[in-house]
Structure 1
Amino acid sequence: MNLIRCKENPIVVPGQFPWRKAAVFNPAVILHNGEFYMIERAAGQLRPFNCYFGLQKSTDGVHFTPVQDEPVITSSSLGFPYGSIQDPRIVKIDDTFYLTYALRPSSYGYSPTGTGKPDEISYDYPGEHGKPESFMTRSGIMESSDLLHFRQVAYTTPFEINDRDNVLFPEKIGGKFVLLRRPEEYIGKEYGTDKPSIWISYSDDLKEWSAPELLATPCGDWDSKKVGASAPPIKTEAGWLLLFHGVDEKNIYRCGAMMLDKNDPSKVIARAQNYILEPQEYYERFGLYIPNVVFPTAAVNKDGLLYIYYGCCDTAISLATVPLDELVDFVMTGK
């Protein structure tokens, strides 16, 4: 698959404001009133490594400028002043923007390679948030009418498991909201998979969600360790195009694609055997502390061209494009 990397990659880099001096990555992006709006995940320092959401906008999808000097969302707004809010994805349903996110009440400390690990600092919170299991990564949904002011709708996952990569479909299907998830502890014979996989849930009101159903599991060498939903699905004539990330045993992050049934997204009707994007460029192989990562979290269809935004090594944001019909053909032929 021939995705074209933007010649100006990485298109969004750290700096400018104190809260985004260390890293910007894994953004949500949506096209609204002819402009691209990006909600970036940003960090100002490594000790501790706390993350925030900032807002940028662009007329061409490449050159972004800040909408304001301060973050639009912090973990403090959810009652966790020492935590991190992470990995946004955004959709618009009717007149409302819905943002899914992951929350860690403690400062972030993760290193799949065992080196370069930031400090992880836990804090005592009152009530149920002070329980040890509350320091798992929990996901939720916020809503907004203007992309600047957000209100918490609900948490979508429980305290006691790590459940991230929550991604909403951009419209109701069969009268219900549809959510993709990745509960890491749902592995073993009773769950039908021995690796972290993509699951699907449904809701009438965004607050109460059905028990998740297994949707897609790792199936190749390049995604043998785990898979998770990347960007909100794109509706096409063939079905719902879903980009997903896969991780291999060497902790290399790549991007794959599959097609879900248009009327029943619990059915995978096609899946490309090979990945469509892997770390190649320097900025995709070396970064803050996790090497060899391309992590798409946004895909925007503008006039038949798909803009895929992805984080690079938890350090910067890059862009790759591909004609949507070419990617659909690639997925449907199973190559």
Structure 2
Amino acid sequence: MIRIKKEGVILRQTAMAFENEGVLNPATIKDGNQILFYYRAVRRGNHSSIGFCALSDPLTVAERLTSPILFPEHTYEAKGMEDPRVVKIDDLYYLTYTAYDGVNACGALATSKDGRQFKKEGLIVAQMELKTFLQLASTHAPLNEKYSLFNSNSARLWDKDVIFFPRRIKGKLHFLHRIKPDIQVVAVNEISELTPDFWKNYFLHFHEHLLLTPKYAYESSYVGGGCPPVETPEGWLLIYHGVRQTTKGFIYVGCAALLDLDNPQIVRARLPHPILVPERVWETRGDVDNVCFPTGTVLINDTLYIYYGAGDDVIAVGAVSLQEILQVLLSHKTA
């Protein structure tokens, strides 16, 4: 069994108004000799914006802005911008986040040429009534009853955890997204293709786009996207999150899978145990107890640093040998 080596908490809330309730779930990316670090900043009343730090090395904060780098400006994100992830494709930064309007939660995109000034591109997932999704998705294959169960509290479809692959694959942009309880994958030539007609056709063939479904006990309730996939010679290393319901509430853990390099719809390997579990006090006690929620990685030589929200309250980091985790994954091949 492989587990990451926990390095501890790297970022905590401050008294500044935009982050006085908590900091969590960061997006990370190397930029020359520094690491750009975008995090969910929560102010009292559970209103989220995106804060920014620059790290001089994987464990050292060298710069921290005193105001959000991105904040709600539109109706679709009026209550918050949550859980960013970031990649760089064709010299353009793609920063995705969950836009929450107080009722609906949907994946949105912002782009940047320098990683500091962003242009909001708007919502990129389907804007659809839940009943329409359920009808479309069950047209050609039976639909897991959990889709109705987990999404029944909203009239609109919730679609979160939008995460791009960090390069085009066979000329196409690929991204993960999560409609509970599974992780799905999308491939398009350009973002402009994500029209209502595209999503209608996508959902008509929904069963063809499922990537990961709950398989093991530690993820028995649902799974969701974690960090942007890491390209390796063996495949795309995907660190995702799994959730299990207990009598004490949900437990969030970090999990690992390996996807095919040329066709990331194919899962090559998947670990039967989590690599990151709530153990430390900052993970087991927080705004939400028992949460390890990985959202960003940085690779330095053979060391993969994994950044995660802990207890929905602080940001922590752990490390693992890339070669070691790949070796363990390859002993659990699924295809």
Give the TM-score, by structure 2 length.
0.83
Q: Is the 8 A contact 1:156 1:207 kept in 2?
A: no
Q: Report the Cα distance in structure 1 between the residues aligned to 2:110 and 2:47, rounded to whole angstroms.
A: 19
TM-fit CA distance, 1:79: 3.9
Q: Could you list the runs of 5+ residues in structure 1 that have no partner in the other structure?
A: 107-134, 185-195
**In 2, Cα distance between the equivalents of 1:269 and 1:139?**
27
Bigger CA drift: 171-180 or 147-156?
147-156
Report the Cα offset of residue 80 of structure 1: 5.3
- Secondary structure of 1:222's aligned partner: helix
The one-letter code matched in structure 2 to 1:298 is G
Aligned to 1:302: 300
Match of 2:117 in 1: 149
Amino acid at match of 1:13: R
**Alpha-carbon distance in 2 for matches of 1:92, 1:2:** 28
Q: Secondary structure at the match of 2:60?
A: coil
Q: 2:68 aligns with which of 66, 71, 79?
A: 71
Aligned with residue 161 of structure 2, among 158, 161, 165: 165
Instruction: Return the structure number with greater strand share.
Output: 2
What is the CA–CA distance in structure 1 between the aligned matches of 2:326 and 2:123, rounded to whole Å?
A: 33
2:318 partner letter: A
Q: CA deviation at 1:305?
A: 0.9
Specify the alignment match of 1:2 in structure 2: 3
Listed as ranges, the matches of 1:126-205 within 5 Å are 135-159=103-127, 160-184=156-180, 196-205=181-190
Which residue is equivalent to 2:37?
Answer: 38
**Contact kept in structure 2, 1:154 and 1:206, CA below 8 Å:** no
1:115-130 mapped onto 2 (5 Å cutoff): none
Choose 203-212 or 35-44, whichever is displaced more.
203-212
Q: 1:49 deviation in Å?
A: 1.0
Deviation at 1:154, TM superposition (A): 4.0
Question: How many pairs does the alignment contain?
Answer: 290
Q: Distance in 1 between matches of 2:76 and 2:99?
A: 9
Please name the residue that 2:245 is paired with: 249
Question: Unaligned 5+ residue runs, structure 2?
Answer: 128-155
Letter in 2 for 1:328: L
Counting only pairs closer than 5 Å after superposition, residues 213-252 of structure 1 correspond to structure 2 as 213-250=209-246, 251-252=250-251
Q: Could you say which residue in structure 2 is the equivalent of 1:321?
A: 319
Residue 208 (structure 1) aligned with residue 193 (structure 2): yes
CA distance in 2, matches of 1:253, 1:16: 27
8 Å Cα contact 2:13/2:19 also seen in 1: yes
Partner secondary structure for residue 192 of structure 2: coil
Deviations 1:197-232 (A, max 9, x none): 010011111232452511110001100000011000
Instruction: Give the letter aligned to residue 172 of structure 1.
Output: R
Mean CA deviation greater in 248-257 or 149-158: 149-158
Give distance in 2, aligned partners of 1:59 and 1:102: 28
Cα shift at 1:94: 2.1
**Which string of whole-angstrom CA distances, capped at 9 and with x for unpartnered residues, describes residues 216-271 of structure 1?**
10001100000011000000010000011000122100111000001000000111
| Overall identity of the aligned pairs, in % | 30
Change (3 A) 1:276 1:154: same
Retained in 2: the 8 A contact 1:154–1:207?
no
Contact 1:19 1:43 in 2 (8 A): yes
User: How large is the RMSD of aligned CA atoms in angstroms?
Assistant: 1.5
Name the structure with the higher helix share.
2
**Deviations 1:79-119, CA, capped at 9 Å, x for gaps:** 4574100000000112111001101112xxxxxxxxxxxxx
